[in-house]
Structure 1
Amino acid sequence: MIGYRLSEESAEDRWEVEALYDTCFAPGREALSSYRLRDGVDRVAGLCLLARDGEGILAAAIRYWPVRVGGHAALLLGPVAVHPTRQGEGLGAWLVTESLERSHGLGWARVMLVGDAPYYARFGFRKLAGVVMPPPTNPERVLGTGDWAGIAGDVEKWDSAP
């Protein structure tokens, strides 16, 4: 995207990214079930991306976490956030597209998220039948892209035994 620089998130970026998420999401976001899947699990290096403007100001961020679904490896996309003053510029779509391409290059066969089907359908995401996020997640919002043939079951933390 013209005027923006894409980079991988580093340890030094953590608090700046957390501040962006606090700005973009409701208080209590860390109480969501998806956060229990992230607790104590390292993000996937190479897929957690930042978009900064020409002044170096953080405009958008995306993160990925490994999970298991029915014993199979998968990526959990999220959160993705665009600063309210930068929304509508295509930054979120840029981060999703770029990170999905990178995930294929790293050998990940499937990606899932909890989100709005109308928005994520343009990236190939569809409702995942038989994939169960921890409650109280709405099953209609559990979406996936990639090779989900024959994969069903509970979404579990990466450190769970396959």
Structure 2
Amino acid sequence: MTISTPHAADFVAKPEALTIRLETPFDDAWIEELHEISFGPGRFARAAFRVRERFAVDPSLCWIAELGGQRAASVRMTPISVGGINGYLLGPLMTDPAFRKQGAGRTLVKHVCDLALERDGVEFVLLVGDLAYYRPLGFAPTIPNAIRFPGPVDPARVLVHSADAEMGAKLSGPVSRFISR
């Protein structure tokens, strides 16, 4: 069964003002500042940060959204495996406070999930986040405590997006390195 998700343009009031592009080294300082604003000093203790500390992000899945030519949001993806099933960890997703509620973040999520799930051997996108925000983008809960992160995580916030509607029940075990095949 395929999960139907909206198109990126559905989230933006003025889609003609939104552009998305790959992240470049020019964006590094802006992303770090936005990360600090969005998550504060406790960001380094988060379980998702611990995963990204162990496994490098995939630069082909690190995107920037611009509204009216200004950087508005950023998203990164990290290749992972859970129980021998390959996927990606989404995050951090960050939107500049001046551009919140304009669809830039949701558009980035939809875009990177589409790209990731089109890849051979990739079966899911996982994240730790708010179900109310991510459910309209195709995310669903996983089995509480079945996926083990390298740090504490609220099991109700571990969400998965996959073409397989049963993926949330299939994922079990520690978050580990993406398995090359």
Which bracket does the TM-score occupy, shorter chain normalised?
0.7 to 0.9
Residue type matched to 2:65 in 1? A
Shift of 1:72: 2.2
Give the Cα separation in 1 of the matches to 2:83 and 2:76.
22
Equivalences for residues 110-149 of structure 1 within 5 A: 110-129=124-143, 130-146=146-162, 147=164, 148=167
Residues 118 and 54 (structure 1 numbering): CA distance in 2 closer, same or farther, change over 3 Å? closer
Which residue is 2:57 aligned to?
A: 43
Gaps of 5+ in 1: none
**1:8 equivalent in alignment to 2:28:** no
**What is the percentage of aligned positions where both structures have the same residue?**
31
1:41 deviates by 2.6
Aligned residues: 159
The letter of the residue matching 1:153 is: G
Q: As a proportion of its length, which structure holds more helix? A: 2
Matched, 1:66 2:79: yes
* 1:72-129 deviations in Å (ceiling 9; x for gaps): 2220001101110101111111111111111122332101000011111111111111
TM-score relative to the length of structure 2: 0.79
Quote the RMSD (CA, aligned, Å): 2.0
Q: Is the 8 A contact 1:49 1:63 kept in 2?
A: yes
State the partner residue of 1:29.
43
Q: 2:65·2:71 contact (CA, 8 Å) conserved in 1?
A: yes
- Is there any run of 5+ residues in structure 2 with no aligned partner, and where? 1-14
* Structure 1 residue ranges, 4+ long, deviating more than 3 angstroms after superposition: none
1:155 match:
175
For residues 23 and 59 of structure 1, what CA distance do their matches in structure 2 show?
Answer: 13
